[in-house]
Amino acid sequence: MIIQSERISLKHLLTVEALTDREVMGLIRRGQEFKRGAKWMPQKEQYFATNLFFENSTRTHKSFDVAEKKLGIEVIEFEASTSSVQKGETLYDTVLTMSALGVDVAVIRHGDENYYDSLIQSKTIQCSIINGGDGSGQHPTQCLLDLMTIYEEFGHFDDLKVAIVGDITHSRVAKSNMQMLKRLGAKVFFSGPKEWYDEEFEVYGHWMPLDELVEEVDVMMMLRVQHERHDGTESFSKEEYLKNHGLTVERAARMKEHAIIMHPAPVNRDVELADALVESLRSRIITQMSNGVFVRMAILEAVLNGKA
Ligand code: CP
């Protein structure tokens, strides 16, 4: 007998913090059901989605495209470079226009943290917002696909030891993941350059030297060095970074037998992670990308349930 997971309804998805544990687990389980071939039962004949990406993206943008098409949702194409954004149209007015055209859900990535505040306070904008990343703020859909990948591997979060390593200060993925992993019962640790680590992260876990951490944890979550969010004044050597803060083949060989490697990607090969580890047996980086489609199907379904 197939037991369908509990139906989740959301108005928007802006941060993981705003989700209850029940909603998080419901979205993960529904993502797993979609992975096994479950179908969506839409309550309307036609739904429209648009993916408004004002920062570069491959995985988030294209996996939302795939998820929408798998669900049978009509995707309204949008390119900021050929839109009226070039004539000075604001984000608010772009979303207002999409809402007026009848778009049900807008997936948005934007460089400004909390860009969504004015959109959700609007009485005129009717479409739901899914946050595809806001500056260095949050990346809730990446967090949910990471959680789905961990849950698929271990079947629980309780007392799992998860290391988040690298450019934590600039990483919206790290911020979403540290909050939710701690809430679900995992033990979070940090490592990487001290200048990219803020004291405020201490409420979620402790910083440890990478060479001590590597033998302890169940999940090594490596982060991309986000040069685009640095001021460009610091000197940077790829070789030095890999040697001091990256997961080398030698370090990976000291991981627990069952431990896995994750990375939200894109990966700077041979910087935060040795090239040979990206597609290695321990790596779940490709699984993370595939799971992104299924968890995003679950998120879209929840938001469109919310509209019904
Ligand atoms: N992980 C992630 O958000 O990748 P993209 O920037 O390619 O969407």
| Pocket of ligand 1 contains residue 50 by CB under 6 Å | no
- C-alpha of residue 123 to centroid of ligand 1, in Å: 31
**CA 190/CA 204 separation, integer angstroms:** 9
- Which segments are annotated as binding site? 59-60, 87, 109, 139, 142, 172, 224, 265-266
Digit-coded pLDDT (tens) for 168-198? 999 999 999 999 999 999 999 999 999 999 9
Cα 193 to Cα 180, 181, 247, distances in angstroms: 23, 22, 13
Residues of the chain with pLDDT under 70: 1-4
**CA 274/CA 3 separation, integer angstroms:** 42
Phi (first) and psi of residue 56, to 5 degrees: -65, 150
Res 4: pLDDT: 61
CA angle 257, 184, 3 (to 5 degrees): 90
Please report how many Cα atoms fall inside a 13 Å half-sphere around the Cα of residue 232, on the Cβ side: 1
Residue of 102, 112, 52, 73 lying closest to 299 (CA atoms): 73
- Ligand 1 atom closest to the Cα of residue 60 is 8
Determine which residue's CA is closest to atom 3 belonging to ligand 1.
60
| Pocket of ligand 1 contains residue 60 by CB under 6 Å | yes
**CA 241/CA 265 separation, integer angstroms:** 17
- Which segments are annotated as binding site for carbamoyl phosphate? 59-60, 109, 139, 142, 265-266
pTM: 0.96
| Pocket of ligand 1 contains residue 264 by CB under 6 Å | yes
**CA 165/CA 261 separation, integer angstroms:** 11
| Pocket of ligand 1 contains residue 57 by CB under 6 Å | yes
How many residues in total does the chain contain? 308
- Ligand 1 atom closest to the Cα of residue 55 is 6
- C-alpha of residue 170 to centroid of ligand 1, in Å: 14
Structural domains in the chain plus CATH codes? 12-138+290-307 (3.40.50.1370), 140-285 (3.40.50.1370)
Res 1: pLDDT: 47
**CA 231/CA 194 separation, integer angstroms:** 17
